[in-house]
Each structure stands twice: as C-alpha cells, then as structure tokens.
A and B are shown apart, each in its own frame.
Chain A
Amino acid sequence: MISATNPLAGCRVLLVEDEYFIADDLRRQFEESGAEVLGPVPRVEEALELIAATPQIDAAVLDVNLQDEMVYPVADALRARGVPFIFSTGYEKTTIPERYAGVKHCEKPLEAAQVAKALFA
C-alpha cells in the first residue's frame, strides 16, 4: 500500500468511529498507508476536544451515526478550519442534511485507498 504517490503519506488524519474493531481496522489501514492517525475517537465530545488540541489536521473520516448522537458538530468544526473530510456511513445519502450536500461519503466497510481517493481526488 505504501508508495511514493500515496497521497496519505505523512497526512494527519482524524478518525471518528464508534465501533472499536472498525476504528482499529481503519487505524491500521491508514497507518499502513503512511498516514498519522489522530484518534480514533468514538464520540463527538472527544472529537471536538481532539480538534481543539491539534494544530494541524489534514483530513478526517467521520462516521455519521455515533452511538447516541450524530457527528455533525464535528463536521461543522472541521469545516470552520477548512479541513477536508468525508462521511463514512451506512445511511442513504438523503438522510444527511442539506448543508453537507457537497461532502463525499463512503459506504462502510471502508478501505483506506477508497477514502484517499474521495478525499484528494
């Protein structure tokens, strides 16, 4: 997976995902791709704290539906900082609010390469 043309190499990528094994799998994939993983974190509160504490974030992968909440506050915070992000989701596109119409989203299960393509294409 590691290659010179790998756009993820050296990137600081925030992962927000409430399912441990998915989060762990993603982490492993991104790390193998040469990215530096921020998190993963399972909840909005922790994601926001991490964003606030981290000066440089290059990209983010956000699971839309966290256990008891939606990830949108995190999306808004990232957007405010100009950080590109994608939604990872099992949802149909129509259930995502209108204001995120331009945001790409990948359906689970995710592959790091697919995410990279969506983020930097």
Chain B
Amino acid sequence: MPDREQMMKRQQVLADFGEFSLCSEDLDEVLTEACRLVGEALGTRRAKILEIQQDGQCLLVRAGVGWDPDIVGQLRLPMSERSSETFAIKEGKPVITQDIRQEERFEVPKFMKKAGVMALANVPIFVPGRKAYGLLQVDATEPREFGNEDVEFLRTYTTILGPVIDRLRKVGTLRSSEERFRLVVENARDYAIFTTDPEDRITDWYPGAEFVFGWKAREVIGQPAAITFTPEDREAGEDSEETANAAREGSAPNVRWHLRKDGTRVFIEGMTTALHHPDGSLRGFLKIGQDVTKRRAADRALRESEERFRAFVTASSDVVYRMSSDWSEMQELEGRGFLYNTPEPNRAWMDHYIHPDDQPVVQAAINQAIRTKTMFELEHRVRRADGSLGWTDSRAVPLLDEQGEITAWFGAASDVTDRKLVEEALRESEARFRAIADVVPECLWRSDPEGRVTWFNERWFAYTGQSPEEAQEHGWLDTLHPDDRERCMTRFRAAMSEGKTYSGEYRIRAADGQYRWFLARAEPLRDGAGRTIQIFGAATDIHDLRELQEQQSVIVAELQHRTRNLITVVRAIAQQTLAASSSLQVFRSQFNDRLSALSRVQGLLSRADQEPITIRALIQTELDALGADHRERIVLEGPAVTLRKGSVQTLALAVHELATNAQKYGALSTEPGQLTVRWRVHVPEGEGRRLALDWYEQGIRLPEEEPARRGYGRELIERALPYVLQARTRYELGETELRCSIDLPLTARTKKASP
C-alpha cells in the first residue's frame, strides 16, 4: 500500500507537470519533462512516450528519460499484433507486464530486453475527441507488480497529458504556417504585398512592395494607399472604387498603371482582397500585385516586330498565308501564281497543297511550333498552281493575344524549287562521284597547289591505314618513302606553279608497313581567270608492273646471254666438225645432225621450268632422234634424277655423240648388238650428290681406225664434261664392246677440275 507521503508526492508531480506545461510551448520539452517526472514518481528512472506515426503503421519513441539518444527520437517500432504497446492502444487501457521472463501474451521489443527491462507498464494517451496519440511506457529493470495505485496514477497522468499534447501540436502547426506565410511574403520580390485598414491606410508594407514601389515601410505606414495611384486614376476615384468593389465582392482586380516613389510608373497586375474580423466586420484590405511593366513592353515590341515582319514578308515572298491557331483551318492563302489561291477558309488545305508522303513531316513541324509557340519553319514539297510538285521554304509566326495565347499564324512561303532541284542534282552527282571514287583501285585526292589535301577516297585510307585526320593537309606525306618525299614535293610544286600536269613515281607505305611503287598524276583545275584553284590527283599501284619489268629485263639479259653463247657454241661445233670432215657432204650431214641435237636440248631447256629434265628423258630424246626402233636391244635403268639446267646442254651433246656412234658403228649397228645404260645417285664423302652413269655397248665391230666422228665425241666426254661440269669420265673402247662412264655433281659447284 502506498503511504500518504507517496500520495502527496504524486499529487505534487501532477501539479508540477501542469504548471510546466502551461509555461512551455515546445512539445518535445514538455514530453521529456513528463517522462522525467513519472520516472521519478514511480522510482523507475525510466519512462518514454511513443507516438503513433504513418497512419498507425508504427510507433516512434518521441521522448524518454533513462534511454540512449540513439533511441529517443530515432527508434520506430512496428505496430504488430503481438505487442503489448499495440494492444494497450487498441483496448484503450493500461497493460502491465510484471516480469517479461514470464510474459506469454506479448513479444517484448529487442532493444528493451537488451537494455535490461524486466517489467513495464503501457498506458495509452488520447487527445480530445478520443483519438489515440500513443502511449506512456514506464520501464523497470527489476520485476515489478505495478499495483492499482500505480496504474491509477499513470491513467490520471496520461489524461492530463492528452490535452497538453493536443494544444502544443496545434501551436506547432499554426506557428509553422505563420512562418511559411512570413517567408513567402518577405521573400517575394516580384510581388508587391501590403495591407491597409478599412479606410485604406497602409498598415503593413512588405519587402516586395518596397522593391516594386520604392518606398520604405516607415515612409508609407499610415499613408493612404492612394499614393500608389496615378494622379488621373486618383482624380477619377479609381482607388476608392477598387476597395469598395473588394469590400462588396470579396475581391477586386487591380490591373493598371501605378505610381512609384520616384514618380515613374509601374504596370501592376494584381488583386485587392477584403479582410474581415471573426465577427464579419471589415478589418482592411490585402493588396497583392505583380510588376509586369517589362513583359508588357516585350509584348508590345513583339507585336510591333510581328507587324514589321508581316509587311516585309508580304513584299518579299511568293506566297502569304494565314492559319487558325491550331492550323486545322487555312484562313487565307495568296498564291501569286506559285500556288493555288485559297480566298475562303478551308479545312482541307493539307490534302490540297501537301503530297500525302510529306504530310507527316509538315504536321510534326506544325505541332512543334504550336507547342513551343515559336516560328514554324520548314522546306517541303508542295503542289504548285500548275499541278506539278515543287519545293517551298515556308515560315509562319504565331500571333499572340494579351494573355500570350496563339490566336492565329501568319505565314510566308517562297518558291525554292529551282534551288532544290540543283541541290538534288548536285547531291546526286556528288554521290555518284563518291561511289565511283571509292570503287576504283586508284588512290584519288583533291588538294591545293601546295599539296595540302582536302579529300581522299576510301582506297587511300584502306591502303595506308591512315585516318582522315592523319592524312589531311600534309599528313599524307608521312606515308611516302623518306627518299622520295623531297623529289615528289619539289616536282609537284613546280608542275603546279606552271599549271602543268604532274606525273611521278614514288613509294607509298601500306598499312602493313611495306612500301609499294605508285605512279601519281595530278591535274590542276583552273578558274575562269586561269588561277589554279584545286588539284585533282590519282595514284596507281604500279608495284607489280615494276617488278614484272625488272623480271623482264633480267629475262631479256639472260636470253641475250644464252643466244650469244649458243651462237658461239654453234660456231665451235662448226669448226670442230669442219676440221674433222673429209668432204663438204660429210660436214653437212654431221653438222646438221649436231645442230638438231643442240636444238632438241634447247627445246628441253625451254620447258624445264614446267617439266624438269631427267637423265632418262635426256637419253630417251637422243635415242628417239636416231629414228630406227631399237627398243628390244636397249636397256635403260636408273632412278628418276632431275638434272641441273646448267648441266643439260653439254651432257646432251655428249649423249648425242654416244648415241650416234652406237648407231653408226656400235651396238645398234649390228644384229646381236646390245646397249645398256645404267645410272645411280651416290654421295661420296665430303661431296654433294653425284650422278654415276654407265654407258655399255656389246657386240660392236671395231673399224680399222677410229673415225673422226668418234674423236669429237671423245673430246666432249673426256675434256668438255670435266671442264664445264666438273665431271669424272672414262671412255674405254675394246674389241667388241664400249664402256663409257660419266660421274658428275647434281648440286651446284663443289670442287675444281682442270680443263
């Protein structure tokens, strides 16, 4: 049971709070004091007030004592079904938890458990009208019963708290709206705001009024508002008529010229509003007005310039027209021979004048002009008076009323058909030129006479890998071979200064860094006065051509060499044959025979690139040339071996002599005779690959003395082959057989041999 002293103390707490709340207009201050007092009265030192927020979604810890600052004013609890706080508010009565360890009805918020709260009392707070504000929560860090007296005390306390909270909240709202009003009024510079009493004497004069009219507050307070009226308006009684209207109607428009302190005039668009006391009696007037002097001046200037524009375009354009504000109707169009006339308003003007394909574009431009209230401007196709399609450059300005709304459009259109056709033709020819320029294999360019390039075709960029920025001006010079640059530029400038065609060959670096030869030609383009205004140039890749030419000159030289050598060889054969011939007849037959052999070798050599010459082919050619068929008496045996071209001629002449001799005197001249030719490839130590050939004839009949013919063959084999081919040879003629062996290198030279 609480003792009397405690009762007294609690009475005192309630009284103290009541007194405190009357002195304070700050809600947070009052709530905090309320918490402090209740915590002290119940001896818990902890209490807090939770405020319902967000339409009943959560509870904010609005004030509290004994709680950390990061909880007070910060923490929000959701209003869940399972919380004692929500339950207390819903039921409208106190809810006590004596020991949270035994609490089964509700969930205790985590932050409270963490703070060591063991027992708590929730008492709802209502503001007048039985509207829930939130609750008072008293927290104890030890289990506590919260007896009847405690609960009654808390209920009494919250009953006092409700109206206090209500009053302070209303004060807060009022104060903030007053604050807002003051801020608006004091900061409005474009609006002159002041108030007057029922006799229209100035009572309040805000900064905007000072700014617009020029008087300071102390200069005008108490003065009649008529001082802001012009003398003529005062004379006409406009000032008093305005206030009389406002008093009668509630408000009256105030749109007129007013007077400023310095005597100049200001145009005000505004309103005078009557102010009344709560009892309905007239308290005075609130006058709010905007300075629109500048806007009016601008409007007038615009109207004047519109007038001038109209006069000008009417005189200078092919067509003038007038459209309704939304362009749905053409009010008038004066076609002046370019377009049909539209003398009466016409709503089908679009179909009348504009090709269906172009209508969307025209409509879009119209919409844009209407939306922005700016000039309509478009070049578009139009049906001409003669029925054909032409081009027009059409412009229209909006005509605005006092309120700035469009009333109509005034337009003018010029016939630009010719210009458009020329432009189109130009564009087309330019496009054609570009297409051709980009398709040719040459690099093309345009430059000035100093070689500053203004344009290259795509081929240049593709070939050099330069970007247009890199190539422009003299940037292209970078791709020229350093050895060619000066020569190229010097000759180019010289040609251009003389107005001649430039032609030169130089190397240009490709994107891969390799240089290729180009033949460049540049032609100056002159104006009527003969001045060079532009250079057109083309560079053709002649690299392959040059290489072919070089190859050709090598081939020609080689051919020269071969031909002259061949003649010398023919001469030597002739001399040799002549020396050994007993008669001209013998000479003729042997010489012709040898020339044929030589010519067969040339045949083989000319095809050698496509058809490498093998030793078998060489021997077979000579044997075939004998004419007679000896196939069954000849054996050719050996691998496919390709001969060096340099070896072929001398070797072939030697084989020819062997074959001819075989037919005339040797194995092929007798019935049982047999010719066996065998060859193989071998690699002696320290040497390259060699061909070892063995020519073996059996069944020959040896003549009394060696014929001269055989002498020439022997010389070829025993001396020419070693001299020319570094061959090792042997020639053995027996009673019934002939054995000739020739061993020669297959690869390029190895070791010397004596002639």
Cβ of A24 within 8 Å of any chain B Cβ, yes or no, is: yes
A55–B572 Cα gap in the complex (Å)?
Answer: 31
Cβ of B556 to closest chain A Cβ, rounded Å: 8
Please, which residues of chain A bring their CB within 8 A of the CB of B573? Answer: 21
Cβ of B755 within 8 Å of any chain A Cβ, yes or no, is: yes
> Which label, helix, strand, loop or mixed, suits the secondary structure of the B interface?
helix
A110–B565 Cα gap in the complex (Å)?
Answer: 11
Contact indicator B560/A42 (Cβ below 8 Å): no
A49–B753 Cα gap in the complex (Å)?
Answer: 12
A41–B564 Cα gap in the complex (Å)?
Answer: 19
Contact indicator B561/A19 (Cβ below 8 Å): no
Contact indicator B723/A42 (Cβ below 8 Å): yes
> Which residue of B576, B749, B755 contacts A23 across the interface (Cβ within 8 Å)?
B755
Cβ of A95 within 8 Å of any chain B Cβ, yes or no, is: yes
A41–B749 Cα gap in the complex (Å)?
Answer: 14
Cβ of B567 within 8 Å of any chain A Cβ, yes or no, is: yes
Residue in A closest to B575 when the chains form the complex, CB atoms:
A25
> Which residue of A40, A45, A67 contacts B755 across the interface (Cβ within 8 Å)?
A40
Please, which residues of chain B bring their CB within 8 A of the CB of A110? Answer: 568
Contact indicator B564/A19 (Cβ below 8 Å): no
Interface residues of B in 543-573 (CB under 8 A from A): 553, 557, 560-565, 567-569, 571-573
Known: A68-B646, A92-B560. A109 touches B755 (CB 8 A): no
Contact indicator A91/B568 (Cβ below 8 Å): no
> Which residue of A18, A21, A45 contacts B572 across the interface (Cβ within 8 Å)?
A21
Known: A20-B650, A23-B755, A40-B755. A108 touches B720 (CB 8 A): no
Please, which residues of chain B bring their CB within 8 A of the CB of A108? Answer: 564-565, 567-568
Contact pattern, A 6-47, Cβ under 8 Å of B = 1, otherwise 0: 000000000000111111110000000000000111110110
> Which residue of A19, A43, A65 contacts B568 across the interface (Cβ within 8 Å)?
A19
Please, which residues of chain A bring their CB within 8 A of the CB of B650? Answer: 20
Known: A25-B572, A67-B646, A91-B560. A19 touches B565 (CB 8 A): yes
Cβ of A107 within 8 Å of any chain B Cβ, yes or no, is: yes
Cβ of B722 to closest chain A Cβ, rounded Å: 9
Contact indicator A109/B557 (Cβ below 8 Å): no
Please, which residues of chain A bring their CB within 8 A of the CB of B724? Answer: 18-20, 42, 67
A108–B564 Cα gap in the complex (Å)?
Answer: 6
Known: A23-B755, A40-B755. A109 touches B723 (CB 8 A): no
Interface residues of B in 709-729 (CB under 8 A from A): 719-720, 723-724
Contact pattern, A 82-96, Cβ under 8 Å of B = 1, otherwise 0: 000000011110010
A109–B567 Cα gap in the complex (Å)?
Answer: 7
Cβ of B116 to closest chain A Cβ, rounded Å: 110
Cβ of B324 to closest chain A Cβ, rounded Å: 90
A68–B571 Cα gap in the complex (Å)?
Answer: 23
Contact pattern, B 568-607, Cβ under 8 Å of A = 1, otherwise 0: 1101110110000000000000000000000000000000
Known: A43-B752, A68-B749. A21 touches B562 (CB 8 A): no
Contact indicator A24/B564 (Cβ below 8 Å): no
Interface residues of B in 727-755 (CB under 8 A from A): 748-749, 752, 755
Residue in A closest to B564 when the chains form the complex, CB atoms:
A90
Please, which residues of chain B bring their CB within 8 A of the CB of A43? Answer: 749, 752
Contact indicator B571/A23 (Cβ below 8 Å): no
Interface residues of B in 629-649 (CB under 8 A from A): 646
Cβ of B391 to closest chain A Cβ, rounded Å: 67
Contact indicator B755/A22 (Cβ below 8 Å): no
Residue among B560, B571, B719 with most chain A CB within 10 A: B560
Please, which residues of chain B bring their CB within 8 A of the CB of A90? Answer: 560-565
A17–B748 Cα gap in the complex (Å)?
Answer: 17
> Which residue of A23, A46, A65, A67 contacts B752 across the interface (Cβ within 8 Å)?
A46
A49–B751 Cα gap in the complex (Å)?
Answer: 12
Contact indicator A22/B752 (Cβ below 8 Å): no
> Which residue of A21, A39, A92 contacts B720 across the interface (Cβ within 8 Å)?
A21
Contact indicator B563/A41 (Cβ below 8 Å): no
A19–B723 Cα gap in the complex (Å)?
Answer: 8
Cβ of A107 to closest chain B Cβ, rounded Å: 7
Cβ of B738 to closest chain A Cβ, rounded Å: 22
A60–B112 Cα gap in the complex (Å)?
Answer: 123
Please, which residues of chain B bring their CB within 8 A of the CB of A18? Answer: 724
Residue among B557, B565, B571 with most chain A CB within 10 A: B565
> Which residue of B563, B572, B646 contacts A22 across the interface (Cβ within 8 Å)?
B572
Cβ of A38 to closest chain B Cβ, rounded Å: 11
Please, which residues of chain B bring their CB within 8 A of the CB of A41? Answer: 755
Please, which residues of chain A bring their CB within 8 A of the CB of B572? Answer: 21-22, 24-25
A20–B724 Cα gap in the complex (Å)?
Answer: 6
> Which residue of A19, A42, A49, A67 contacts B569 across the interface (Cβ within 8 Å)?
A19
Cβ of A35 to closest chain B Cβ, rounded Å: 17
Interface residues of B in 462-507 (CB under 8 A from A): none
Please, which residues of chain B bring their CB within 8 A of the CB of A91? Answer: 557, 560-561
Cβ of A13 to closest chain B Cβ, rounded Å: 15
Please, which residues of chain A bring their CB within 8 A of the CB of B571? Answer: 25, 109
A15–B708 Cα gap in the complex (Å)?
Answer: 28
Please, which residues of chain B bring their CB within 8 A of the CB of A46? Answer: 752
Contact indicator B568/A20 (Cβ below 8 Å): no
Known: A25-B572, A43-B749, A43-B752. A20 touches B560 (CB 8 A): no
> Which residue of A20, A49, A107 contacts B723 across the interface (Cβ within 8 Å)?
A20
Please, which residues of chain B bring their CB within 8 A of the CB of A45? Answer: 749, 752
Residue in A closest to B563 when the chains form the complex, CB atoms:
A90
Known: A21-B573, A21-B576, A91-B557. A39 touches B749 (CB 8 A): no
A55–B576 Cα gap in the complex (Å)?
Answer: 34
A23–B568 Cα gap in the complex (Å)?
Answer: 10
A48–B724 Cα gap in the complex (Å)?
Answer: 17
Residue among A19, A23, A43, A68 with most chain B CB within 10 A: A19
> Which residue of B561, B567, B755 contacts A65 across the interface (Cβ within 8 Å)?
B561
Residue in A closest to B755 when the chains form the complex, CB atoms:
A40
Residue among A43, A107, A108 with most chain B CB within 10 A: A108
Contact indicator B565/A22 (Cβ below 8 Å): yes
Cβ of A15 to closest chain B Cβ, rounded Å: 10
A67–B567 Cα gap in the complex (Å)?
Answer: 17
A25–B575 Cα gap in the complex (Å)?
Answer: 9
Residue in B closest to A43 when the chains form the complex, CB atoms:
B749
Known: A21-B576, A22-B569. A42 touches B563 (CB 8 A): no
Residue in B closest to A41 when the chains form the complex, CB atoms:
B755
Residue among B567, B572, B719 with most chain A CB within 10 A: B572
Please, which residues of chain B bring their CB within 8 A of the CB of A92? Answer: 557, 560
Please, which residues of chain A bring their CB within 8 A of the CB of B723? Answer: 20, 23, 42
Contact indicator A20/B755 (Cβ below 8 Å): yes
Please, which residues of chain A bring their CB within 8 A of the CB of B748? Answer: 68
Please, which residues of chain B bring their CB within 8 A of the CB of A40? Answer: 755
Cβ of B246 to closest chain A Cβ, rounded Å: 116
Cβ of B716 to closest chain A Cβ, rounded Å: 8
Please, which residues of chain B bring their CB within 8 A of the CB of A89? Answer: 561, 564
Cβ of A113 to closest chain B Cβ, rounded Å: 15
14 CB < 8 A contacts A-B: A20-B723, A20-B724, A20-B755, A21-B572, A23-B755, A65-B561, A67-B646, A90-B560, A90-B563, A90-B565, A91-B557, A91-B560, A92-B557, A95-B553
Give 10 nearest A-B pairs by CB, closest first: A21-B572, A90-B564, A20-B720, A90-B561, A108-B564, A109-B568, A20-B723, A46-B752, A22-B568, A67-B646
Q: What is B's interface to A at a CB cutoff of 8 Å?
A: 553, 557, 560-565, 567-569, 571-573, 575-576, 646, 650, 719-720, 723-724, 748-749, 752, 755
Instruction: Give 15 A-B pairs besides A22-B565, A46-B752, A92-B557 with Cβ atoms closer than 8 angstroms.
Output: A19-B568, A19-B569, A21-B568, A21-B720, A23-B755, A25-B571, A39-B755, A43-B749, A45-B752, A90-B561, A90-B563, A90-B565, A91-B560, A92-B560, A95-B553
